[in-house]
Amino acid sequence: MEASYVDPKNRRKKTGITNHQHYVVNNFNTVLDMQIQELGNRFNEVTTNLLIYMSSLSPCLNSGAFDKLNLLKLAEMYPCDFNFDEKDKLIYELGNYIANAKEDTRFDDLNGVSELAKNMVETRKHIDFPWMGDGFLNDACICYIEREFIQQVSIEDVMQCFQR
């Protein structure tokens, strides 16, 4: 892979790059760009932001994926669920939660939001940090966790629920 790359269209001209650079860097980046464009064509900006903000719920605190600012933006996408005071309070609670969870070794090796929720209940942190309780996590995760159940719910039932 470290040998010089030979361009099949012009075999006599030196390219100045290695096979590794050609195949891994150039081709990989081209394919990655094509996939990003495809995702951009399939999802609008709001959906893309929602996916980004939801990924911030990652319980792996050391990975940097748990992003306080993105979680605040996620809360702003649900204005009916968070009033101004609750959003203001959430800023401080998220900071306290991150500091608290980083000190607790039971939160080190979590592999998903379901494990985070289970650990929160086992450690009774769901009482100290109620924003991670049933209301927030259930509303945020129900479409992903219970896909089969969601498919059985009719549109009329959903409309009746929100019209009340």
Same domain, residue pair 121 and 147: yes
pLDDT for position 135: 53
Distance separating alpha carbons of residues 8 and 91, to the nearest angstrom:
57
Contact 70, 56 (CB under 8 A): yes
How many CB atoms sit inside 10 A of residue 45's CB? 8
| Tokens, residue 25 | 């860097």
Cα–Cα distance, 107 to 115 (Å, whole number): 9
pLDDT, residue 8, reads 78
pLDDT tens per residue across span 103-143: 778 777 777 777 777 887 788 777 766 655 555 555 555 44
Q: Are residues 33 and 57 in the same domain?
A: no
Calpha distance 55→73 (Å, rounded):
12
Alpha-carbon torsion (21, 22, 27, 30), positive or negative: positive
- pLDDT at position 59 is 61
Residues 100 and 142 in one domain: yes
pLDDT of residue 65: 62
Residue in 24, 30, 32, 78 with CA at minimum distance from that of residue 40: 32
Total number of domains in the chain: 2
Q: Does 4 share its domain with 85?
A: no
Q: Specify the DSSP element, H or E, that contains 1.
A: none
Query: In terms of domains, do 3 and 53 share one?
Result: no
pLDDT below 70 — which residues of the chain?
A: 57-65, 128-151, 162, 164
Domain that holds residue 1: 1-42
